[in-house]
Amino acid sequence: MNRTRALLRKIGWAIFTILFVIVLNFFLFRVLPGDPARAGVRDPRLKKEAIEMLRVRFGLDKPVINCFESLNPIQLGSCAVNPLDTQFFIYVRNLFQGELGISYHTNRPVADILAERLWNTVLLIGAGQILSIIIGVVFGVFAAWKARTAVDFTSVVSSLVVWSLPTFWLAIILLFWGSNNGLPLAGKATPGSSSLPLLQQWVDIGRHMLLPTLTYTIVYMGEYTLIMRSSLMDVLSEDYILTAKAKGLSTFQILKDHALKNAMLPLVTVIAINLGFTVAGAIQIEAVFSWPGLGGAIFEAVGRRDFPVLQGAFLLIAVAVIFANLIADLTYNYLDPRVKTE
């Protein structure tokens, strides 16, 4: 019963956080300077009539909320307006219907734009995360078990070096390296590859993914190695590990049955928190390698001041981070039963 109550409480807090993010995401883009109707259209010849048509097209002719026509600059309006006919409630209503607005630049639904790019980002980040976690855990465990030796020193120094590398700089270095080794440098697939057999298409996508995935893996591998090493060294100093050694258990048994699960707690937390930062890193990686992902869509929307796309992308990232932290929180009890559910 306590576990069920704790689970419902955590889910409730996650839902409350998402609702708060929805409200914040709406008002954050309403206080930005400039006229949203002209944000994506930079033609100085645009007449007032055309601007007004754009405002009606995007629903900007309605008050933001009751008593406020605009938030930047602040313009007071009528408080007798129907609350359901304000920008805020229309935004919330459309959001729960799966609509994220219309792009100022392409005049397409934002949900369609993000859906096209999301899978590519999930593919890139998923491959990079899996590789960096596996390599980081293996190197971290090996360094902790060989603590204060040349192996440990080499692992720590190399991890610090790769962790401190700027993402864009590493991506550019690998770009030059790939150009000298015949690897694809940009895009997701070779033009015309869609006519090839399915297996050859996946091989082509894999070759295009190699450099951006390698960049992503190297950047986060060092962080995971250091965290795993530090956490495992703390666990290996516990009394129950000494008892396990005294019983004659092998190194593999001690790590598998007693140390590894407990040492994974800090790493799970960092992985969940890193989800938001990985998208920021993906923006740089996708920009360097012209990877058609969510990061590239954000990069393009910033240059075009396409606020609806930015608003939808930020909301998507925030919800993903909240769910990742919820899953990490629920995973703690499996990894370490000593963690309380209350």
Residue with the larger pLDDT of the pair 256 and 228: 228
66, 96, 126: which is the final residue of a domain? 96
The answer on 296 and 153 residing in a single domain is yes
Instruction: Reply yes or no on whether the pLDDT at 274 is more than 80.
Output: no
Tens digit of each residue's pLDDT (9 = 90 or more) over 125-164: 888 888 988 998 888 888 888 878 888 888 888 888 888 8
DSSP 175-213: HHHHHTTT---SSSS-TTGGGS-HHHHHHHHHHHHHHHH
- Per the structure, the count of domains in the chain is 2
Residue 51: the pLDDT is 65
Report pLDDT for 30: 73
> Side chain identity at 246, as an amino acid letter?
A
pTM of the model: 0.73
pLDDT of 342 over the 70 cut: no
261 with 131, same domain?
Answer: yes
Q: Which residue has the higher pLDDT, 72 or 316?
A: 316
Residue type, 109: P
**Among 64, 96, 128, where does a domain finish?**
96
pLDDT over threshold 70, residue 41: no
> What is the full DSSP assignment across 233-274?
HHHHTSHHHHHHHHTT--HHHHIIIIIHHHHHHHHHHHHHHH
Tell me, yes or no, whether 201 and 71 share the same domain: no
Is the pLDDT at 3 greater than 60? The verdict is yes
The verdict on residue 174 lying in a domain is yes
CATH number at residue 182: 1.10.3720.10
Last residue of a domain, one of 36, 66, 96: 96
Over residues 44-92, the pLDDT tens digits come to 666 666 666 766 666 666 777 766 666 666 666 666 667 777 778 888 8
Residue 319 lies in domain:
110-335
Residues 87, 158 within the same domain: no
Q: Give the integer Cα–Cα distance in Å for 50 and 35.
A: 13
The pLDDT value given to residue 162: 85
Residue 247 burial by Cβ neighbours in a 10 Å radius (0-12, 13-18, 19+): exposed
**What's the burial of 340, exposed, middle or buried (CB within 10 Å: 0-12/13-18/19+)?**
exposed
Percentage of residues in the chain having pLDDT higher than 90: 0
- DSSP for 61-77 reads TS-SBTTEEEETTEEE-
Structure tokens that stand for 203 in this block: 């091989």
Within this chain, do residues 22 and 140 fall inside the same structural domain, yes or no?
no
Percent of the chain with pLDDT over 70: 80
| Confidence check: pLDDT of 178 > 60 | yes
With 70 as the cut, is the pLDDT of residue 188 above it?
yes
Task: Specify whether 206 is located in the same domain as 272.
Answer: yes
